[in-house]
Copies of this chain bind each other. A is one copy, B any other.
Amino acid sequence: MKIESVDLFYLAMPEIRDIGDGSQDMLLVRVRAGGYTGWGECEASPLASIASFVGPMSHSACHPVQYSVLGQTLESPGDIARITRNVRAKSLDLLQADHTLSGIEMALWDLLGKRFEQPVYELLGYPVAKPKTPYASVLFGDTPEDTLVKARRIRAQGFTALKFGWGSFGRDTPADDADQLHAAREGLGDDGTLMLDAGTVWVEDVEAAALRLPALEEVRVLFLEEPFVAGALRSYRELAGRCENIRIAGGEGSHNAYVAEQFIDHSGAGFVQIDTGRIGGIGDAKRVADYARRKNVQFVNHSFTSHLALSASLQPFAGVAGDWLCEYPMESTRLATALTHNRIDVDNSGHVTAPDAPGLGMDLDLDAIREYLMEVDIRVNGASLYSTPELLH
């Protein structure tokens, strides 16, 4: 098969709110080859990713992403790896390229799985997908009372693991933050697995983070996620050294496998969280999962959008029983939930598993998302470089 077309669709909610909800827009990717169609999704900033796909070449190491994808042979996982290498080499100086590649690479796996009638995890070498414990991933309530109610509701829905994050946590006083944490623990119950996402709020300030450690230890969080920005590894390591029972998590900002491997090597973290919609796709995420296992660090997916993205994020560690946790989006927008007819549901035993179906196993509902499609036009010197393609085609 040759890759015949790569179409990018910018979809967004009618109103984008200034909150930490990453499901408010998406860049959906459709790839066609040999009569098959594959779908993928790039995380965040759709317009910049579209521009990096079509923008004119700057020089030999700064081609648009499309240069390394269109017309390429696609017969095997090795072809996907080759296309990824070419994008990295030919778009070396185009920073956004890694995010753009991510959704495309996902779609290539989806397409190949459909072609061979195999789930992606089988193409990756896993004979079977293991059940994971989903943790409900939600934003803090505005007050401790709201957080308490939210935690109780989620526990009542059957979740035993829960992560709160963002909101004003870390910007309030340590006492206010402690109130939020105690509310979360109370709502979840003593026996639940509680996690905390600080959303990089302390940037690189170890002392500011350390002020919250006593309350975090007290409510027994499993991990404290992203106390600092992705690159602040010295701060990560220092904070990790001050923790007693809790562990540090991070890595979602990794835009290639090297960044994640450095995080594993030098942060002191116990968990590495990878978003297949940012790291360059499923292949790079699998490389990180393998590396993490060798280094005794737990791999967890980062996922806060659609179930298409959730399926893609599950594939890289689907077959690894030891990597038992799965971030499970719970507050996605109508756009994200409308994208797929089917869902990756929590089963009767309280687990989720990567779909046992060809490719990523998700059935898209294009009619339902059509109303969210943004009409984008990019022209340079009068020539059209991009115009939103037809979705129902």
Q: Is A391 an interface residue (CB 8 A)?
A: no
A61's partner among B51, B88, B199 (CB-CB below 8 A) is B199
Stretch in A17-25, A240-248, A308-316, A362-370 with 4+ CB within 8 Å of B: A17-25
The contact of A60 among B18, B48, B234, by CB within 8 Å, is B18
* Distance between A311 CB and nearest chain B CB, rounded to angstroms: 21
Known A-B contacts A95-B99, A253-B92, A258-B229; the reply to A59 vs B44 at CB < 8 A is: yes
| A44–B16 touching, CB < 8 Å | no
Interface of chain A residues 342 through 382 with chain B (CB within 8 A): 374-382
- Residues of B near A378 (CB, < 8 A) are 47, 376-378
Partner of A25, one of B51, B58, B94, B379: B58
Closest to A252 in B: B93
A60 & B93 in contact (Cβ 8 Å cutoff): no
Expressed in whole angstroms, the Cα–Cα distance for A66 and B338 within the complex equals 31
- Min CB distance A88 to B, Å, is 7
**Shortest Cβ distance from residue A276 to the other chain B in the assembled complex, whole angstroms:** 14
A124 at the interface (CB under 8 A from B): no
Interface residues of A in 147-192 (CB under 8 A from B): 166
Whether A379 touches B382, Cβ cut-off 8 Å, given contacts A12-B56, A93-B43, A94-B48, is no
What is the count of identical protomers in the complex?
Answer: 2
- A241-300: which have CB < 8 Å to B? 253, 255-259, 261-262, 265-266, 278
Cα–Cα distance between A196 and B48 once the two chains are bound (Å): 34
Which of chain B's residues have a CB closer than 8 A to the CB of A99? 95
In the complex, what's the smallest C-beta–C-beta distance from A132 to chain B, in angstroms? 24
Q: Which residues of B contact A96 (CB under 8 A)?
A: 45, 48, 52, 95-96
Asked if A94 and B45 make an inter-chain contact with CB atoms under 8 angstroms apart, the answer reads yes
Task: Check: A89 CB closer than 8 A to any chain B CB.
Answer: yes
Instruction: Select one of B56, B94, B375 contacting A382, CB under 8 A.
Output: B375
* Most chain B beta-carbon neighbours within 10 Å: one of A98, A229, A382: A229
A58's partner among B46, B89, B265, B380 (CB-CB below 8 A) is B46
CB pair A48 B44 closer than 8 Å: no
Choice from B18, B24, B255 contacting A95 with Cβ under 8 Å = B255
CB of A106 within 8 A of chain B? no
Q: How far is the CA of A137 from the CA of B375 in the complex (A)?
A: 44
Q: CB within 8 Å of B: which of A1-55?
A: 10, 12, 16-22, 24-25, 43-48, 50-52, 54-55
Q: A275 → chain B, closest Cβ, in Å? A: 9
Interface residues of A in 187-214 (CB under 8 A from B): 199-200, 203
Report the Cα distance A377→B381, complex, angstroms: 9
A57, CB-defined interface residue at 8 Å: yes
Q: Is A232 at the interface (CB under 8 A from chain B)?
A: yes
Are A200 and B89 touching (Cβ within 8 A)?
A: yes
A93-B22 contact in complex given A48-B52, A56-B16, A58-B44, C-beta closer than 8 Å? yes
20 contacts between A and B (CB under 8 A): A16-B56, A16-B58, A18-B57, A22-B62, A43-B93, A44-B58, A44-B93, A45-B58, A47-B56, A48-B52, A50-B51, A52-B96, A88-B203, A92-B229, A92-B253, A95-B278, A231-B257, A231-B258, A232-B258, A233-B258
